[in-house]
Each structure stands twice: as structure tokens, then as C-alpha cells.
Amino acid sequence: MHVPVMLDEVIEWLDPQPGQILVDGTLGGGGHTLALAEKVGLSGLVLSLDRDPAALEAAERKLKGQPVKLVHSNYCELDEVLRQLDIEAVDGILVDLGLSSDQLADPGRGFGFDTSGALDLRFDPDEGQPAWQMIEELSADDLADLIYKFGEERFSRRIARKIVEQRKTEPVRTATQLADLVRRCVPRSRDSRRIDPATRTFQALRIAVNDELGSLERALASFADCLRENGRVAAISFHSLEDRIVKTAFRENPRFENLTKKPLRPSEAEVLRNPRARSARLRVARRTAS
């Protein structure tokens, strides 16, 4: 079951009020959207976006009767979505850049390491190129560069060579195949608390397939135009590449006041309840008058 990450902190820092219009740019399992909807009440609205049609379909049932409008869109297109809905500006924006539990559990998407379905990794299955096709076409050098750039994986060259070697006889088409291959290339830490050796490679491919960092950069550049004066934007990231982009945008955009000098982290109690929250970082900024 999906558990929204850092929910208490999100509510505290966005401070949703009755009648406000808020945006959940990454609907996912719908936990954040539901909590925000309960705060804004029937006089308000939560506009929830997601690229994943399955997430929207599941949320439609879960959020029935709530003041929520679901939109199939990338959050970097929020300004266009608002224009289409004739909404001039909103009071707050949230983006949670992690995967939902539903996506990880879906055996046909490839997000979970030990699923036998196709290694797809796309948020929208009708958009872009699946990961299995990408790794089938890239050269060893280009594949290694991608895994290192987006996954910060120091064994990227070893992994890329192994993929190219294996695809000569048997293409890497499933999540299980790729995870097993990567685990043979990356030494496993003796510390059982460390992440699975396949994590960084999967992260890199998912980021590349979905252009996640490009979407984040474009979104943060446009959010100031979408917010009312004093409106807030909150971003939950899960790895250093995302957090660096959020940190830079909040500090360098003159129309944002950075409210969190250092990222907020989940409490020990939350991490015990939900281990997937352990790497979460929350940053918040306020839209200034300038």
C-alpha cells in the first residue's frame, strides 16, 4: 500500500487553507493529494497531475467525492494545464519525485528489480522508448556514460560491457535479467542496510527514459509564473541529482525565497514505518513579489 512520504512536513510547510487551489504535480498513489484535498475543503481544489495512466485510474476511485481534478500530464507542463483550465495562478505546488508503491509492484512495468515483465520503466507507456530497447541500441561507451551520469554508478563501464556482451546471445529484456546482471558486476556491501547493487543502474535508465531531470528543470523554471505571490512550492527528491537541481532553482531564481536552507529529512519514526522514505529530502520556496 502506498504511503505518502513526509506528509506531516508537507502539510506544515505548504500550510493549505480552505478555499485554496493547490497542485500535486506527481499524483502517484494519491496520498498527498487526499491530505491536501481534506485541508482545502469543498470550496477549494487540488489539481493533480501524473504521466502514468494507471495512477490516474486508481486515484479516480480513491479520490471520488474529493475536491480534486485529475489531469494526464507531465508536471513540467503545468503552465499550459492552468491556461487550459482558465486558472490564473495557484496557492501551492507539491512535487514528490519518488516512485509509488503501485508502480514498484506492477510486474509489467519493470520498476521492481525482481519482476519478470518487460524492462519498460516509462511512466507513460505510450510515450518515448522503453528501457529494454534503449540498452539494446546504445554502444558500450554511451551506455556506460548514461549509467554513470544519471546513476552515479562507479562500476558503469563494467556493467555496460556486460550488457553488450550478453545481448550478443540473449537480449536483456526483463527487470530480473538486468538486476541479476548488475549484481554480478557490482560488489555487494557487507552492510545489509545498503541499497541493492542494481539500484543505481535502474535509476539511471529510468531517468533517461523519462527525461526526469529535464522535466524537473523546466518545471522549476515555470513554477514562479504559476504561483500567486506568497504561494509556496515544495519538492521531495530522493537522490543527489534531483536535490541539486531543486537547491539551485530555489537559491538562484530571484522570484523564489528559499525557506529551507538545508533539506528537511524524514523522522526516524517515519523511516522505521516506511523504509522507502530514508533518502527523501524536502525543500520549500516562497514566491516573492518581484
Per the CB < 8 A criterion, the answer to whether 256 and 287 are in contact is yes
In the block, residue with C-alpha cell 516562497 = 286
**Dihedral pair phi/psi, residue 262, rounded to 5°:** -120, 150
Q: Which CATH number fits domain 7-102+212-287: 3.40.50.150, 3.40.50.1820, 3.40.50.920, 2.60.120.560?
A: 3.40.50.150
How far apart are alpha carbons 4 and 130 in whole angstroms?
27
How far apart are alpha carbons 148 and 167 in whole angstroms?
20
Residue ranges of the alpha helices (H) in the chain? 7-14, 31-40, 53-62, 78-84, 101-105, 131-137, 140-151, 156-167, 175-185, 199-210, 212-226, 240-252, 268-273
In the block, residue with C-alpha cell 542496510 = 193
Query: Which grid cell sits at 287?
Result: 514566491
Per the CB < 8 A criterion, the answer to whether 249 and 220 are in contact is yes
**Dihedral pair phi/psi, residue 93, rounded to 5°:** -135, 135
- Per-residue pLDDT, 191: 55
Sign of the Cα pseudo-torsion (160, 166, 172, 178, in order) = negative
- Per-residue pLDDT, 21: 98
- Per-residue pLDDT, 193: 59
Per the CB < 8 A criterion, the answer to whether 8 and 63 are in contact is no
Domain boundaries of the chain, sorted by first residue: 7-102+212-287, 107-210
How far apart are alpha carbons 231 and 20 in whole angstroms?
10
Concatenating the DSSP letter of every residue in 183-229 gives HHHSPPPS-TTSPPTTHHHHHHHHHHHHTHHHHHHHHHHHHHHHEEE
- Per-residue pLDDT, 128: 92
∠ CA 286-288-290, rounded to 5°: 155
Which of 35, 18, 53 has its CA nearest to residue 96? Answer: 35
Which of 104, 171, 179 has its CA nearest to residue 133? Answer: 171
- Per-residue pLDDT, 102: 76
Q: Domain 107-210 classified CATH 1.10.150.170?
A: yes
How far apart are alpha carbons 227 and 191 in whole angstroms?
44
Query: Which grid cell sits at 227?
Result: 504561483
- Per-residue pLDDT, 256: 97
- Per-residue pLDDT, 139: 96
Angle between the 156-167 and 140-151 helix axes, to the nearest 10 degrees? 140
Per the CB < 8 A criterion, the answer to whether 112 and 104 are in contact is yes
Query: Which grid cell sits at 66?
Result: 474529493
User: pLDDT tens, position by position, for the chain (290 residues)?
Assistant: 578 999 999 999 999 999 999 999 999 999 999 999 999 999 999 999 999 999 999 999 899 999 999 999 999 999 999 999 999 999 999 999 988 777 877 777 888 887 788 899 999 999 999 999 999 999 999 999 999 999 999 999 999 999 999 999 999 999 999 999 999 998 876 655 578 899 999 999 999 999 999 999 999 999 999 999 999 999 999 999 999 999 999 999 999 999 999 999 999 999 999 988 999 999 999 999 87
Identical fold at 7-102+212-287 and 107-210? no
